[in-house]
Structure 1
Amino acid sequence: MIQQIKTIQTLPKATIEQLHALQQLSYTSEQQLLTIDPFPPLLETINALATSADALIIRLESGQIVGFLQYDSTREDVVINKLVVHPDYFRQGIGSDLLETLIEDKRNTSIQVETAAKNTPAIKLYQKYGFHKAAQFYAAEGLQLLRLVRP
């Protein structure tokens, strides 16, 4: 089941804690894939997540959050800030479902995302949905990133 939430700030504390725990699990797997330490996304606190004005699309299985897509839609375009899937659900279509929901909801809006250049699974997923490379750059931590855009 997919749920859309207008802003993270409106969620109950228990839901935000669930999101943060899921994020930690998923980003730990990504950290291992990218061999980066420290991995900046793992440093985000529950409080930082709880005070975010970003919107969410959540995927539930048996009442549990198994994935979410966090995005900023306060601009003319949409910026995906996170696409998080529980490691037990990798490669089961959760990321695709979340991305498809966003694309359908924002069908007349440009969407962009940044991901590590070495994050091949994420890049393939975005390319499958029409995203193309718009820029390549380095984050302050020395991590090589790609900006992908879907016009």
Structure 2
Amino acid sequence: MNHPITLLNHQNRAVAQQIRDVQIVSYRVEAKWIQFDHIPYLKESINHIQNCSEVFIGCMKESTLAGVLSFEIQNHILCIHRLVVHPTYFRKGIGQSLLAYVCEQEALHYEVQTGTRNTPAIRLYQSMGFHITGEKTVAKDLKMSLLRREGGKNMC
């Protein structure tokens, strides 16, 4: 399912608020899945979103921001920082559309990390050509899986 994706002006306070609203409800669900409620993005301020250097893209459904992905490209490596979908829109192809859009960006490879217990996210990334390359412990109760996909354009 292909959903229209737009570039978000996260420096605009109202847009940053919408991004924050979506990520809070989404990361609350993830926190339950991974059994860890100290995800930093749950405490992120609107001001921090407005001032960060990431590129934000989003998917709108009616007048609601249904999903958000942010990334940065450094040294030809595209690093996905966040991918969140409002729970109302889970399993409707929003995350897949956001990832497909990002795969249009020219990069040597793409990297992302997610909670090892977040099997829906890991399955999504793997369905888009990402492979688990490692795992790291970031807190007593939290392991993160590192995923990578080789680059080139239009490979997702």
The answer to whether the superposition gives a TM-score over 0.5 is yes
Please state how far the C-alpha of 1:134 moved relative to its aligned partner: 1.1
- Taking a change above 3 Å as real, the CA distance of residues 63 and 74 of structure 1, as seen in their structure-2 partners, is farther
Tell me the matched-pair count.
147
Whether the aligned pair in 2 keeps the contact of 1:135 and 1:147 (CA below 8 Å) is yes
Cα root mean square deviation, aligned? 1.5
Please state how far the C-alpha of 1:50 moved relative to its aligned partner: 1.2
Structure 2, unaligned runs of 5 or more: 151-156
Alpha-carbon distance between aligned partners in 1 of 2:37 and 2:7, rounded to the nearest angstrom: 33
Please state how far the C-alpha of 1:33 moved relative to its aligned partner: 1.3
Alpha-carbon distance between aligned partners in 1 of 2:122 and 2:92, rounded to the nearest angstrom: 16
Alpha-carbon distance between aligned partners in 2 of 1:141 and 1:76, rounded to the nearest angstrom: 33
- Taking a change above 3 Å as real, the CA distance of residues 50 and 141 of structure 1, as seen in their structure-2 partners, is farther
TM-score, normalised via structure 2 length: 0.87
Do residues 8 (structure 1) and 10 (structure 2) align?
yes
Describe how 1:66-145 pairs up with structure 2 within 5 A.
66-106=66-106, 108-140=107-139, 142-145=141-144
Whether the aligned pair in 2 keeps the contact of 1:55 and 1:73 (CA below 8 Å) is no
Amino acid across the alignment from 1:2:
I
Structure 1 stretches of at least 4 aligned residues deviating more than 3 Å after TM superposition? none
Whether the aligned pair in 2 keeps the contact of 1:131 and 1:148 (CA below 8 Å) is yes
Structure (1 or 2) with the greater strand fraction: 2
Q: What are the Cα deviations for residues 64-109 of structure 1, in whole angstroms up to 9, with x where unaligned?
A: 2100110011332000000010000000000000001111233x43
Structure (1 or 2) with the greater helix fraction: 1
Alpha-carbon distance between aligned partners in 2 of 1:8 and 1:15, rounded to the nearest angstrom: 6
- Taking a change above 3 Å as real, the CA distance of residues 79 and 37 of structure 1, as seen in their structure-2 partners, is same
Percent identical across equivalent pairs?
Answer: 33
Alpha-carbon distance between aligned partners in 2 of 1:43 and 1:91, rounded to the nearest angstrom: 25
